A and B are shown apart, each in its own frame.
Chain A
Amino acid sequence: MLPRHRRFIGILVTLIGVTVAISLILSSFQDNLLYYVTPSEAIENIDDDQSKFRIGGLVEVGSFERSEGSLKSRFILTDGFESIEVNYTGILPDLFREGQGIIVTGRFDKMKIFVASEVLAKHDENYMPPDIHPIEESSS
């Protein structure tokens, strides 16, 4: 094999390798992007988007319910304009309470109930999810 051929094969193999790696990485990137929206934006896009995403909002006061002795809970998430019913099974974070700003990750089911796989409350009692702040201030 001539050195020229060897170099050619080397470059070819590298190119193929790099292309495969980059395309895998890009597709993984696409698959794992989570969009963050407000409840209003979520309601707007409820039909055409069945994928997983995040909603940030306030837990509506008086909306929290739990069936006794079970990990299942439901509550309403709001940004002051629109409200979304959220179902969640599992342990809620320490800072979860009514009136608090939280972020939920999950997807809508057929009943247009948001089934959360993760509930985040931030580690600061003064925390507000982005975009909720002005609304909360104007309402208070």
Chain B
Amino acid sequence: MIPELGQIFLVAALASALLQFVGGISPLMRKIENIEPFIERITMFQTMSLLICFALLTTSFLQDDFSVLYVASNSNTALPIGYKFAAVWGGHEGSLLLWVLILSIWTLLLSKDNALKSSPELRIQSLSILGLISLGFLVFILYTSNPFERLFPIPLQGRGLNPLLQDPALVIHPPTLYAGYVGLAVPFSLAVSSLLTANNFEWAKHARSWTILSWMFLTGGIALGSWWAYYELGWGGWWFWDPVENASLMPWLIATALMHSLIVTEKRGLFNGFSTLLAITAFSLSLLGTFLVRSGVLISVHSFASDPQRGLFILVLLAFFSGSALMIYSLKQKKATQEKLHPLSRESLLLLNNVFLCASAGLVLIGTIYPLILEMLDLGKISVGPPYFNFVILFPFIPLLITIGVAVFSNWSHASKSLVKKIFPIIMIAILLSLLFPFIYGLASLMTMVGVILALWTILTGISPLIRNQFSINKSMVYMPMMLGHIGLGLMILGITVTSSYGITFDDSMGIEQSSNVGDYEFKLTEIGRRNGPNYLAQYASIEISKDGEYIETVYPEKRVYDSSTMGMTEAGIEANLFRDLFIAIGEDIGGGSWSMHLQYKPLLRLIWYGPIVMMMGGLIRVFLSKRSIGSYQ
């Protein structure tokens, strides 16, 4: 009964999405008054329907209703209750339901945005476009990926959730990332609506907070994914340039550019066309990400099923939305008024950095889809390795980081007179501080020093407004979003540079009471044992970590075999503080009483995840603090 009810509400949501879209055509017919309350109600109705769908699917999971194909494929009776909730979005169908649910929540929130009510045409038009996006995806769900589909005969037991996904970080990673992906539909719809209606830069004012919000979710989602991959996949890396990771990085880069471009569009009325294009690109890349991840063209943890029909459908949606948006842009965009920009004005520097961000996204895009295109054309199978990405990303990023610091000190429309005098001391401090690193960690290559100096430069210039205001938090509050954003980025770059340059990683064989040295640290295997988890059997090792004979901590890396599958899972043993991570993962029994072990020492690794947290705090302050104090940001 429950699945049929879910089916009905899914269709109800589809109908309301259709009405939401059709109702939005009315601003074009200048009949705005009657339609506004109607659209508001229909938006609410759609969100409610999808929430009920989601709740019903969750109920099926909690009841272990294996007559539902999706439940049978992604859960079983032994699954801990918390993971039964997470299993709702643990597979293809459920995660798409989550996708449209989040889209409808964003739409509902946009319809509640009071500031937007002052531009009713823009408002109704963008709600209509969001309705159309929702419609597309609901058709997709009902047509190819229905989560409520029944299974007959009813199996006694389900297949269980992929053990890799049975982890707390993985419970929140997909919703967070989705919120970011889907949130980019909001600036997209505002940009396209603006082209269709007033066609001025009014939309930028409204789009900014929404862009920042989705950017925050994207930042958090990516950082969570990276953290999870680090401790769960067993080889202790934090970024693999996997196409799926790239699929999330590209919209993030463009959203970052959009966020900054919108400042200029809002404050100065410039770069309207550029901001519009960025908004369209950001959402298109979100859709491309959805396509890459969900179509099965990639083989990874994230691709659940490879059904060519599904891939094709998403591709059609992608082509339709980006294609028509770009078409509207080319037809409607007015020619920008020629304005002479001083090359060192804030506008120019922001533009420059946005170009660097776009270039980064472009380079990542080439490396990600080139192999796919080649394969599609039957020209052979290739993969583009991490060395390509690690190398080419430096070209846009080094000038980007240099410019960030300069932009902080720049003024709108003209060059700051004492620019050199202001930045010179900071460069000097950054260089002096960077000299500490070879002392602490040992000799470094030139590239390492460049990375450290640029990271410190970004952090110091980020802090500078606070120093200029005599450390008064109140006075520097208006700069806080920018400060935290830049400091977070600097911390992350510092973490990446130091970890990559000074980290130690190797495999070793260890017997009982034998030890292995990783840098200054000694790892000693004292015991190998077995223990029972709720739905798995684990082989654990106890490892004593010490430094210069001084005991630090005992960690227990595990090798788990889940009941529902035969595959082993690695749980690493990690001893971490702000300054370094010590990592050990069990390989396998290699005979002779020895085990293979994967060992790591990673200095400043945590900054790679703390940095994004700081960045997100910046965004949070910008979105939620009183508009009055932030509004005066110059």
Interface size class of A (residues with CB under 8 A): 20 to 34
Instruction: Tell me whether A113 is interfacial, beta carbon within 8 Å.
Output: no
Known: A37-B381, A69-B591. A124 touches B162 (CB 8 A): yes
List B contacts of A122 (CB < 8 A).
299-300
Which of A66, A90, A94, A127 is within 8 Å of B570, CB to CB? Answer: A94
Which of A25, A91, A127 is within 8 Å of B596, CB to CB? Answer: A91
Cα A21 to Cα B366 in complex, Å, equals: 15
Are B384 and A66 interface neighbours, CB within 8 A? no
Instruction: Return the chain B residue nearest A131 by Cβ.
Output: B381
Cα A28 to Cα B388 in complex, Å, equals: 6
Are A34 and B590 interface neighbours, CB within 8 A? no
Instruction: Tell me whether B301 is interfacial, beta carbon within 8 Å.
Output: yes
Are B384 and A95 interface neighbours, CB within 8 A? no
Are B234 and A36 interface neighbours, CB within 8 A? no
Instruction: Return the chain A residue nearest B343 by Cβ.
Output: A10
For the complex, count residues of B whose C-beta is within 8 A of A.
44
Shortest A99–chain B CB gap in Å is 12
Known: A34-B385, A122-B299. A94 touches B593 (CB 8 A): no
Inter-chain contact count A-B, CB under 8 Å? 98
List B contacts of A28 (CB < 8 A).
387-388, 391-392
List A contacts of B380 (CB < 8 A).
35-36
Are A32 and B388 interface neighbours, CB within 8 A? yes
Instruction: Tell me whether B598 is interfacial, beta carbon within 8 Å.
Output: yes
Cα A34 to Cα B590 in complex, Å, equals: 30
Instruction: Tell me whether A109 is interfacial, beta carbon within 8 Å.
Output: no
Are B592 and A68 interface neighbours, CB within 8 A? yes
When each residue 89-111 of chain A gets 1 if its CB lies under 8 Å from chain B and 0 otherwise, what string results? 11111110000000000000000
Which of B387, B395, B569 is within 8 Å of A32, CB to CB? Answer: B387
Shortest A5–chain B CB gap in Å is 17
Cα A30 to Cα B157 in complex, Å, equals: 50
List B contacts of A127 (CB < 8 A).
299
Are A69 and B509 interface neighbours, CB within 8 A? yes
Instruction: Tell me whether B588 is interfacial, beta carbon within 8 Å.
Output: yes
Cα A123 to Cα B565 in complex, Å, equals: 12
Instruction: Tell me whether B566 is interfacial, beta carbon within 8 Å.
Output: yes
Instruction: Tell me whether B363 is interfacial, beta carbon within 8 Å.
Output: yes
Shortest A34–chain B CB gap in Å is 5
Instruction: Tell me whether A43 is interfacial, beta carbon within 8 Å.
Output: no
List A contacts of B593 (CB < 8 A).
69
Instruction: Tell me whether B587 is interfacial, beta carbon within 8 Å.
Output: yes
Are B395 and A25 interface neighbours, CB within 8 A? yes
Instruction: Return the chain B residue nearest A94 by Cβ.
Output: B568
Contacting residues of chain B (565-592) with chain A, CB-CB under 8 angstroms: 565-570, 585, 587-588, 590-592
Cα A13 to Cα B534 in complex, Å, equals: 65
Instruction: Return the chain A residue nearest B392 by Cβ.
Output: A25
Are A95 and B567 interface neighbours, CB within 8 A? yes
- Counting chain B CB atoms within 10 Å of each CB, the highest count among A24, A25, A54 belongs to A25
Are B382 and A125 interface neighbours, CB within 8 A? no
Are B590 and A33 interface neighbours, CB within 8 A? no
Cα A26 to Cα B174 in complex, Å, equals: 34
Instruction: Return the chain B residue nearest A69 by Cβ.
Output: B592
Are B591 and A66 interface neighbours, CB within 8 A? yes
Instruction: Tell me whether B200 is interfacial, beta carbon within 8 Å.
Output: no
List A contacts of B511 (CB < 8 A).
69
Q: List 5 A-B contacts (CB under 8 A).
A: A24-B392, A25-B395, A29-B388, A91-B235, A130-B381
Given contacts A35-B382, A91-B588, 12 further A-B contacts (CB under 8 A): A29-B367, A32-B391, A33-B388, A68-B590, A69-B590, A69-B593, A70-B590, A91-B585, A93-B234, A123-B301, A124-B162, A127-B299
